Chains A and B, each alone.
Chain A
Amino acid sequence: MRGHLRPALTMVLILTALTGLLYPLAVTGMAQLFFPGPANGSVILREGTARGSGLIGQHFDRPEYFWGRPSATAPVPYNAAASGGSNLGPTNPALIETVTTRVAALRAADPGNDAPVPVDLVTASGSGLDPHISPAAALYQVRRVARARGLEEDALRLLVARHTEARQFGLLGEPRVNVVHLNLALDDGR
């Protein structure tokens, strides 16, 4: 047994230096050199101000913005310093109640729109930071946003189509709309 103590201790220490410090620092160095944007959080800059990350959603509840996925993070929705989902089970009454409230809020913000609500618009994402909604969820909101901003619905539909990302390489993932990019484009008046 005693013969193993020296290799055990030195091995742990050297592997710590190698895989715990050298390896992550080497990756950091290469990442900062080759991919500085993505490595630092894909931050969107507007006139020198950081307006968000292209990968992290933000909370929207005003009628003139497209709303994203509901977020279960605490204490505020889309808290990017404490990610997580609701973990509510499918038969939990609390889930049914929450979804009922969300449907009611969408309907109240857009009276007269009785179309079925796309499911991703009333269910919380796993991370609580999902920046995307489905194209169906974006189109569902066009009427409300158009009215609140005094824009043509057709022009908005075109904007949504321009911001719809197809499946990656035509195959992977799902079609989606980045809510932060879309709302930023609205504010930019493009």
Chain B
Amino acid sequence: MTLNGLAQIALYFAVLFALVKPLGWYMARVYAGQACGLDRVVGPFERLLYRVCGVRATEEMDWKTYGIAMLAFNGTGLILLYGLLRFQAWLPLNPAGLGAVPPDLAFNTAISFVTNTNWQAYGGETTLSHLTQMAGLTVQNFASAATGMAILAALIRGLARRGTQTIGNFWTDLVRGTLYILLPLALLLSLLLVSQGVVQTVASSRPVTLLQPVNSVRPALDANGQEKTEPVAVTEQVLAVGPAASQIAIKQLGTNGGGFFNGNSAHPFENPTPWSNFLEMLAILLIPASLCYTFGVMVGDTRQGWALLAAMTILLLCFIPLGLWAEQSGNPAFAALGVDQASGAGQSGGNMEGKETRFGIANSVLWAAATTAASNGSVNSMHDSYTPLGGLVPLFLMQFGEVVFGGAGSGLYGMVVFAIVAVFLAGLMVGRTPEYLGKKIEPYEMKMAALLILIMPMTVLGLTALAVSLDAGTSSVLNPGAHGFSEVLYAYASQGNNNGSAFAGLNANTPFYNFTGGIAMLIARFWLAIPTLALAGSLARKTPVPAGPGTLPTHAPLFVGLLIGVVVMVGALTFVPALALGPIVEHVIMTGR
């Protein structure tokens, strides 16, 4: 942990928190349908859009109608994206002449993007045409993030409204989230990224002449027609380029994470400088953090939003030092080989396998923690090559159920569910009906909350157990021993929480992983979204009760502590046994020899 590293992390959080209030306030106005400045420009287009689509913008929906509209939109998007992946070979904007994506990979990838996961079983530059990247993936990056934010807006309305059946209109929430929040931010960020060197062109490749030819081999036939390899001097490097910046901006902002290139944000064309890295990291947490303030404004008490943000921040800050220490300590096996891993003026040192020189340890660890705390899943270093405890940090952060910031919208609605469980626990202790923001929490709400919390571990642990007991699961593993188990656990923790990052040594592009992962992503997204909407509908019907002497104030430090306790307890009780078999065993092995 270097002084400069700590200063960079402190600056990061300072800038993030400075932006929470203005952006949170702005988003509250957007979801309340109030004037927000941009409506002079965007308003006419928005109204035209409603007319063409046959949407009555003033119409309010109950939770079931809201849910059906959400499923209809996401279902249509899923089918369209699957079609695009299967037919890309015959469609325009395919300068590299890439073929159709195989059915199992197309199934996994389509679900991956519609569910805001962006799990990459594919290699961007070698599998997907420009049209697929733009009209398929980029669209779902916007749509899935806007969907998550819409569901959150519906849940907040459920908490804020009294004695009503309705929780808003899905179509206007979707459209306003896209037009007023995501598009302007993405436009700004993509241009900032291009200025740093992120590519943005319709060309697909640029050949350059190498300074020094590289010796390689190529397959050939010998005199008898047998296959052999012959030496060849490679003198050219082909730079894969494309419309990257526009996709990268939204994949960071919308907690999506699917890269334009296989190397994701470790690729110098995707993340060229420390400044681009800072902006991309900021974009990861920007919307999830600001939505906490939006929540406070919409329920009429901003302290409630700050309390949730405080709980998220404290949880994240607990894990960053562990990651920094583990990665800076480096690999004990290298010491005997005459390798210098100490940090000093001339190098950042530490465990540099899978990390970029320009980012070093501090920026790699901070990114790994932020991208898994939020359900972003983009990477600027390869998590599979982290030290065991360094790799435990992103793994465990996902296993909290993506509520520490979490996905755009989805993280906060997950956290609100944990808040409901926390007030329920407090209510049990004093023997009185719990309430949250004046709404009584009764058996129906608790059933929905329990459902939301239990589905995820069942999916993640169940599928991990299945994969490690089948050849189809274990044959994809790259690293031997305990680390191989971590690869499988990470894959399902990532897909089962709609994160999308990976211990990428695992060959996930097999029918088994494509199929089971696709199912896990569908469950994680929609099986959780629907109980959340049911919860919103039930809360909206209730009339608030005035706070009494027995009411637990949900904006005070005591509640923040209780909330953190509940999140950690549920996560730890569920996943520590599995973590013990993976990273913890590996750590003991690594340091013990």
Contact = CB atoms under 8 A, between A and B. Distances in A.
Q: Is B a genuine binding partner of A?
A: yes
Contact of B589 (A54, A83, A87, A91): A91
Given A28-B246, A55-B197, A90-B386, A173 B360 contact: yes
Contacts of B384: 85, 87-89
Nearest to A114: B338
B357 A43 contact: no
A115 B504 CA distance: 34
B240 interface: yes
Interface string A5-19: 111111110111011
Contacts of B415: none
B72 interface: yes
Interface stretch (B158-166, B265-273, B432-440): B265-273
A21 B134 CA distance: 6
A145 interface: no
A18 B139 CA distance: 8
Given A55-B269, A125-B357, A126-B356, A7 B53 contact: yes
A190 to B, nearest CB: 14
Given A10-B53, A12-B73, A91-B481, A130 B357 contact: yes
A27 B245 contact: yes
B427 interface: no
Interface in B462-512: 478-483, 486, 503-505
Contacts, number: 407
Contacts of B348: 134, 174
Contacts of A114: 338
Given A58-B210, A84-B123, A126-B381, A91 B478 contact: no
Contacts of A144: none
Of the candidates B245, B273, B330, the one having the most CB atoms from chain A within 10 angstroms of its own CB is B245
Nearest to A36: B201
Contacts of A81: 125-126, 205, 238-240
A70 to B, nearest CB: 9
Determine the interface band of chain A, counting residues with CB < 8 A from chain B: 35 or more
Interface string A164-190: 000111011111100010011001000
Contacts of A39: 194, 199-201, 245
Determine the interface band of chain B, counting residues with CB < 8 A from chain A: 35 or more
A31 interface: yes
A15 B338 CA distance: 56
B240 A172 contact: no
Interface string B198-223: 11111101111111101011000000
B125 A10 contact: no
A39 B56 CA distance: 41
Interface stretch (B274-282, B305-313, B316-324): B274-282
Contact of B208 (A43, A86, A95): A43
B344 interface: yes
A173 B277 contact: yes
B349 A119 contact: yes
Of the candidates B138, B275, B352, the one having the most CB atoms from chain A within 10 angstroms of its own CB is B352
B347 interface: yes
Contacts of B267: 83, 127, 129
A117 B340 contact: yes
A119 B339 contact: yes
Interface string A37-60: 011111110000111111111111
Interface string B371-412: 000000001111011111000000000000000000000000
Nearest to B130: A24
A167 B7 CA distance: 12
B339 A8 contact: no
B195 interface: yes
A75 interface: yes
A49 B211 CA distance: 11
Interface in A120-139: 120, 122-137, 139
Contact of A103 (B174, B243, B338): B338
B197 A52 contact: no
Contact of A7 (B54, B237, B346, B486): B54
A100 B336 CA distance: 10
Interface in B167-186: 171, 174-175, 178, 183, 186
Contacts of B483: 89-92
Interface stretch (B21-29, B74-82, B295-303, B514-522): B74-82
B583 to A, nearest CB: 10
Nearest to B331: A90
Given A41-B206, A83-B261, A85-B263, A172 B212 contact: no
Contacts of B341: 119
A28 B479 contact: no
B143 interface: yes
A149 to B, nearest CB: 13
Contact of B266 (A15, A126, A176): A126
B117 interface: no
B178 A19 contact: yes
27 contacts: A5-B72, A7-B72, A19-B142, A23-B187, A27-B194, A27-B243, A27-B249, A32-B200, A34-B194, A38-B194, A41-B241, A57-B268, A78-B237, A85-B382, A86-B353, A86-B354, A93-B480, A114-B338, A115-B340, A117-B340, A118-B340, A119-B330, A123-B352, A127-B263, A129-B268, A167-B4, A172-B363
Interface of A: 1, 4-12, 14-16, 18-21, 23-24, 26-28, 30-32, 34-35, 38-44, 49-62, 65, 69, 75-93, 95-96, 99-100, 103, 114-120, 122-137, 139, 167-169, 171-176, 180, 183-184, 187
Interface of B: 4, 7-8, 11, 49, 52-55, 68-69, 72-73, 75-77, 80, 123, 125-126, 134-136, 138-139, 141-143, 171, 174-175, 178, 183, 186-187, 190-191, 194-203, 205-212, 214, 216-217, 234, 237-241, 243, 245-247, 249-250, 261-263, 266-269, 272-275, 277-278, 330-331, 333-334, 337-341, 344-360, 363, 379-382, 384-388, 478-483, 486, 503-505, 586, 589-590
The 3 A-B pairs with the shortest beta carbon distances in the complex, nearest first, are A173-B274, A136-B346, A126-B266
Given A88-B384, A91-B479, A128-B263, 10 more contacts: A12-B77, A16-B80, A23-B186, A32-B200, A50-B206, A53-B208, A90-B387, A90-B388, A91-B333, A129-B267
